[in-house]
Chain A
Amino acid sequence: MIDEISTIDTQRLIIPALAGSYRALGPLAYAAIRVVTALMLFPGGIDKLFYGGAARIAAGTITAMGWPLPYAWAWAVTCIEFFGAIMLALGLFTRPVAFAMTAQLMVIAFEIMIKRGMFWTSGGIEVALLLGLVTFAFVLGGGGRYSLDHVIGREF
C-alpha cells in the first residue's frame, strides 16, 4: 500500500514542525482504518452468535427479503461479522474476508436499508454503504504493512 510506505516530505509541509508526528503516525492510518472497520462489525457478530441474533435475522429480515435457506444465510452473516471481523482486525486473509464483508454490506444496503432513506438518522443506506465501500478498499489494497498477511509473507 503506497500510502503506508511513501515517506512524509518535509519540503511540502506548510508547518514543517509536524513532520515528526506525521512520520510516526501516518503509516499507521491504513491499519487503523482496518481495525476500526472490524470493530464496527464485531458487536453485530457478538449479538448474532451469543444473543440469538442469528435466529432473529433469519426469521426477520432474511425471510422478508424472500431468500431461500434463511438460516444458512443468517449463519453466514454471523460468521462474517464475528470471525471475519477478528480476521480483518488482525489482517489475516484480508482480501477474501473483506470481499465477503463487501458482498454482505452491499446486500444490506441495497435490499434492506435503502427502504429507510438515505441518511443514518433513519437507519438509511449510507450506513452499510460506507462500511461496504471501505471494506472494498481492503479488497483492493490488502492488509498492508501492519497485518498478519505481511508477517506470513504471502497474501491473496
Chain B
Amino acid sequence: MAGEAETPKFIPALAWYRPLEPFAYAFIRFCTGALIVPHGVDRLFYSGSHAELGGFLNGLGPSIVGSFELVGGIFLALGLLTRPIALLFAIEWIAIAITGAMGLKPGTSWLMLGATPHYAAFVAALCIAFILRGGGHYSVDRLLGKEF
C-alpha cells in the first residue's frame, strides 16, 4: 500500500528502529489517550481536583467530564471513533488551557514546563492533529472499515 520508498539511512546497521517505523503515529495517539485516562479515573473514583476545568466544563459536572475522559481516553488510545473523540478532547483541553492561562500566578509563564497550562495546550494541539489524520493505519477504525 505504501507507494514511497524508505529513506536510506546514514548507518543502516544501527537502524534498530526500522521495523517500528510505521507505528510512530499510532504510538503518539496511544500515549495521548492513555495519559488522559488517569484524569478520568481521578475525577470519578478519587474525587480528584476539578478546579482546573473552569466554569464551562464544571457546568457539565466533573463526573460527566471524568466519565468522558475515562472512556474517550481508551477510545483514543485504541483509535476507535478517533476524529469525533479527538474533537471533543480538543474542545475540553482548550477550555482547560484558557482557564489555566487566566488563573496563572503573576511571574509565571504558561510557556514553561511545570504546573502551567503548557501541558493542556500541548494535549489540545495533539488532538487537533488527530482530527486531521484520524486513527491512521493501526487503529480500530481501520479494522472496522468505517470512520468519520
Contact = CB atoms under 8 A, between A and B. Distances in A.
Interface string A107-133: 010000000101111111011111101
Contacts of B1: 2, 6
B45 interface: no
25 contacts: A1-B22, A2-B137, A6-B1, A8-B134, A29-B25, A32-B132, A40-B118, A44-B112, A118-B38, A119-B38, A123-B115, A124-B115, A127-B119, A130-B119, A133-B31, A136-B27, A137-B27, A138-B24, A141-B21, A141-B24, A141-B25, A142-B21, A154-B10, A155-B7, A155-B10
A22 B130 CA distance: 11
Nearest to A32: B129
Interface residues of A, number: 59
A147 to B, nearest CB: 9
Contacts of A26: 132-134
A91 B85 CA distance: 29
A29 B132 contact: yes
B52 A15 contact: no
Interface residues of B, number: 58
Interface in B11-68: 11, 14-15, 17, 20-28, 31-32, 35, 38-39, 42, 48-49, 51-52
A68 interface: no
Contacts of A67: none
B118 to A, nearest CB: 7
Interface of A: 1-6, 8, 12-15, 18, 22, 25-30, 32-33, 36-37, 40, 43-44, 47, 95, 108, 116, 118-124, 126-131, 133-134, 136-142, 145, 149-150, 153-156
B13 to A, nearest CB: 12
Contacts of A28: 132
B3 A133 contact: no
